[in-house]
Amino acid sequence: MAVLTVVCYHAFPEWLSGGFVGVDIFFVISGFLISGIIFESIQKDRLALADFYIRRVIRIFPAVVVVLLAVCTVGWFTLYADEYKQLGKHMAGAAGFVSNLIFWGEAGYFDNSAQTKPLLHFWSLAVEEQFYLIWPIALWLVSRSRVSMGLFLTCTVGLSFAAGLWQVQNDLAASFYFPHARLWELGMGAALAYSVAKEKPLHNHTEALRPRRLSGAMSVLGFVLIVLGAAVFTGDVPYPGWRALLPTLGTTLVIAAGPHAWLNRVVLSARWLVFVGLISFPLYLWHWPLLSFGHIVHAGTPDAAVRTGLIGLSLLLAWLTYRLVEVPLRYGKTTRLKVPALVGAMVVAGCLGGMCFRFDGFPQRFPHAYDDDRKMADWDYPSREMKSVVLADVPVYAVGGSGKQTLFFGDSNIEQYGPRIAELLAHNRGSERGAIFLTQGGAIPIDGIRRSDNHQTNVDNFLRIAAGENVDRVVIGAAWSLYFNADKADLGLSGPIVPRYFADGISLEQAEGQRRATDRLEKMVAQLVHQGKVVYLLAGIPGGREFAAQTRTAPRKFVLEDAQLSDQLPGVPRAQVDRRLEVASKVLAEVAASTGATLVRPVEYLCTHDVCPVQFHKDAGHLRASFARHRLTYLDQTVSNQPSQ
C-alpha cells in the first residue's frame, strides 16, 4: 500500500494529490518490522550488532547497486553535462546514504525541478538507514539501563514530533529531509513493536475484551485515515508536521488490528497486493528514475500513455530485480565474500558518481550541447566589480562612486542585472554615482508577506538604507509571478519544497491575498516617493519551463548529438508569456499609477509582438550574465545622470 500510493502520486498526481504520504506509511512499517527484530534479540539477550548490519547490507545493497549503475548508464546517453554532474553527486550521496542531506542543501531558489533528479527518492532510504545506524545501539543501551523502554520510546516520539512541528514552521526543507523531524514516524512503528515484544499486543486481548469487530473497526479507521491523507493533501501544504499524523496513525491502527481483522485478512492480503509487497523495495527504487528520465527526454511531463508504460516497465524491472538479484543474494548460499562484494559494489557505484561530479559531467560526450551547458552556468552576482560593504548595519554589495546612489532591492531577478549596472558604473570614483544591491533569492520585496517556511523579507533594513540622503533612486524588482501565480510547474518550479507566500494567512495566489499585497507595496512605495525618491517598479522577465536549457532541446533524442539545440528554436509565444505575467503586471501597474512610480516592463524590450526568444536565458527565470552585461539597456536610466520618469 505504501509503495502504490507513492507510485501513483509520482505518475498521476492529478489522481492522488497526497500520495506522498506513502513514505510516512513506509517509515511506520519499517520501524515496526526492524524494531521488532531488535526487541526479539534483546529479549533473548543476544543482540549481535554485526549480524544486524550484515542483514541490512544483504537486504538493501543488491537492488540499490543495480539501480544506481543503471541510472548512471542511462544518464550517460541522455543528460547534459551539468545534469550528469549533479547526478554524479546524487549517486555518491545515495551510495553513502546521505541523499537527504544533499537534497536539503540544494533546496532553494535556484534548485532545479524535482522531476529532473532521477535519484531524488533516495532521500527516504537515507533517512531510514541513518535511523538504523544508531537505533539498535540506543535500544540496547536503554535495555541495559534503569530507564523504562516505554518511557524512552514515548519521549523519543514526542520530542521528535515537537521538533518536526517547529521545523516545518521555520525551515520547511529541513523538516522534510532531516532525520530528527522524521524519527517519530519510525518511532511509532517501534513503539508498536515493543508492545508486541512485551506480549501485550493491541490485537491479542482475550475475545471477551476484544471482539473481532473491534479489530475490524481499528483496521477500517486506520485505512480511512490513510486514504484521507492521500486524497486531501496536496504538494502546496507544509509537510510533514501535524498532517503526517493521518498516515502514521492510520498505519499504526492497521498493523495493531492484527492479521485477523477483516480488512487485513481479505483486502490487504489479496494475492496481487502480496505480490506488490514482495517487489515493493525494487519497485520503489525503479519507478522514479524511469519517470524522471521520461520527463527529461520529453522536456516536460509525458502523456498518460507514456507514464503508464513506464510504470509497467518499473513493475517488470522490479520483478526481475527481485527474482534475479534479491532472492539469490538474500536467500541463496551464504559465503564469506557476499557482504564484502556487496560493500565493494556500493563503493564502486559511489566512486563512479564521484567521478561524474569531479569531471563536470564529462561534457566531451556531446560537444554540440556544450553551448547550452555554458549558458546554464552563466551567472555573475556579485560581479567582480562589486564590493561588500555594511550600510546601516546591513551587509550589501556596492559598485561605483560614493556620490548619489541607486538602491536595488528584491530577489535574484534584481541580482541578474548586477553585471549590467557594474559595467556602467565600475569606473566611477569619488563623488560620482554609485549603486547598492540589497537582495535575497526567493524573498518577495513586500513588507509582512510570510513564506510557507515562515521566512519574511526584512523590509525595515531596506527602508532604513533607502532613507539615507545619498540614495535618490530606488529600483524594486522580483520574479513577481513566482509569488502570485498558482501554477509553479508552469514557471519551471516543482518538487516537494516549493514555497508559497501569504499575506495575513491568505495566499497571494488568491484575489484577497493579491489585494493585501498590493496595498502593502503601495504603502511602501508611497513612503519612498514622499521622501523625494525616484522609484522604479521593475516587472518580471519572460520566463517558464520552456526557457530552461534542460527543456529547450525539446524533446531530446536518446543520443543528443542529433538533437535540435535551443538557439534554433523560434521562442515562446508572446501571448503565453503575457498570460503568466498578467496577475503581477496588474498589481504593479496599479501601484505605479497610484504612487507616481515608474513601471519598467522587461517583456517590452525582450520580446517582439509575437514571440519571446529563449536563447538569452540561463534557466527558467533568469537571464544570462553575459547577455545582461552587454545588451540589457532598459535599466540604464536608473543610474544615468538624467533619469527618465
What confidence tens digit (pLDDT) does each residue in 303-316 have? 899 999 999 999 99
What's the pLDDT score for residue 208?
Answer: 39
Q: What are the backbone angles phi and psi of residue 318, rounded to the nearest 5°?
A: -65, -45
Nearby residues of 55 by Cβ (< 8 Å), 6 or more positions away: none
Say what the pTM is.
0.72
Nearby residues of 10 by Cβ (< 8 Å), 6 or more positions away: 19, 287, 288, 291
Residue 212 has pLDDT above 80, yes or no: no
Mean pLDDT of 39-63: 85
Per-residue pLDDT band for 400 (boundaries 50, 70, 90) equals very high
Output 209 or 56, whichever has higher pLDDT.
56
Tens digit of pLDDT for each residue in 134-168?
Answer: 999 999 899 888 889 999 999 999 999 999 999 88
**Per-residue buried b or exposed e for 615-637, using 16+ beta carbons within 10 Å of the residue's own CB:** bbbbbbbbbbbbbbbeebeebeb
Burial of 506 (0-12, 13-18, 19+ CB in 10 A): middle
With contact defined as beta carbons under 8 Å apart, do 188 and 161 qualify? Answer: no
Q: By C-alpha distance, which of 10, 186, 175, 8 is closest to 100?
A: 175
Residue 287 has pLDDT above 60, yes or no: yes
Output 487 or 113, whichever has higher pLDDT.
487
Distance CA 460, CA 441 (A): 17
Residue 334 has pLDDT above 80, yes or no: no
With contact defined as beta carbons under 8 Å apart, do 629 and 420 qualify? Answer: yes
Mean pLDDT of 457-486: 92
What's the pLDDT score for residue 398?
Answer: 95
Q: How many residues does the chain have?
A: 645
Tens digit of pLDDT for each residue in 535-574?
Answer: 999 999 999 888 876 554 444 544 444 433 344 456 889 9
Residue 69 has pLDDT above 60, yes or no: yes
Distance CA 497, CA 391 (A): 33
Mean pLDDT of 77-87: 87
User: 343 is written with which cell numbers?
Assistant: 560493500
